[in-house]
Amino acid sequence: MLLNDAHRAALLDVLTWRRDVRHFKTDPVDQEVLDRLRATMDLAPSVGNARPWRVLQVKDADKRAAITADFETENAKAAALYSDDARRDYNALKLSGMHDAPVHLAIFTETAPREGRGLGRQTMPETLAYSTVGAIYTLWLAARAENIGLGWVSIINPERIKQILQTPDTWHLTGYLCLGHAEFQDDTPLLHKTGWQENVQTHWKTV
């Protein structure tokens, strides 16, 4: 299949308007949309084609509450690392949409997958986690194309999340994702917009 200008323009729109979303409406996401999103993760590249990502959709109210409480605890600890003005600025940031997002996905990496038969990861076992990140980004873009926002939450204690979700020892937490309809659309990262940071460009040098 040869792709044309219209494909390139559409891809650029998806990339430009993808955001890390933390402000969600509580409206549910249609199951057919979720099914399509799940299928797009199969399209992601992975080391040795191992597809080591393991996805748990967290629906149980008690588990969601425990995970949200863990975020609050870890976020307060992170805030305490800053002093004075920086802490005030940090506390003004909204760093998770867990309370409102209708869909919560805990994404793990199976660190000892049979799939792939070890190919490609002997010298760099971390490529399994990299593969999972690729699958998350695939999901992220596919969600944007469905007009569904996605927010990545990393301010959590991985061991606590594993305990709450009772996962196998070989599963390593890669990311916790919130999905749902976004409150607003933007083409600029929120951390830049709120003045937390300057926007930085890709460091790329020819040597």
The residue of the chain with the least Cβ separation from ligand FMN equals 189
What is the SS3 string spanning 87-148?
HHHHHHCCCCCCCCCCEEEEEEEECCCCCCCCCCCCCCCCHHHHHHHHHHHHHHHHHHHCCC
The correct pick among 28, 45, 168, 189 for binding ligand FMN (CB under 6 A) is 189
**By CB under 6 A, what part of segment 64-83 binds ligand FMN?**
none
Q: In the 8-state DSSP scheme, what is residue 171?
A: E
Minimum CB separation of residue 20 from ligand FMN in Å reads 3
Distance CA 169, CA 74 (A): 22
Note whether 143 binds ligand FMN by CB under 6 A.
no
Note whether 95 binds ligand FMN by CB under 6 A.
yes
Q: Which stretch binds ligand FMN (CB under 6 A): 17-25, 36-44, 50-58, 79-87?
A: 17-25
Note whether 20 binds ligand FMN by CB under 6 A.
yes
Minimum CB separation of residue 64 from ligand FMN in Å reads 16
Note whether 105 binds ligand FMN by CB under 6 A.
no
Minimum CB separation of residue 13 from ligand FMN in Å reads 14
Q: At CA 133, angle to CA 128 and CA 134, rounded to 5?
A: 95
Report yes or no: 182 and 24 within 8 Å, Cβ to Cβ.
Answer: yes
Q: Quick count: other Cβ atoms within 10 Å of Cβ 108?
A: 25
The CA-based dihedral angle spanning residues 153, 159, 162, 167, taken in that order and rounded to the nearest 10 degrees: 140
Distance CA 153, CA 171 (A): 18
The site string for ligand FMN over 146-185 (x = CB under 6 A, - otherwise) reads ------xxxx------------------------------
Nearer to ligand FMN, 89 or 118 (CB): 89
- Residues lying near ligand FMN in the complex (CB under 6 A) are found at 19-20, 22, 95-96, 152-155, 189, 191
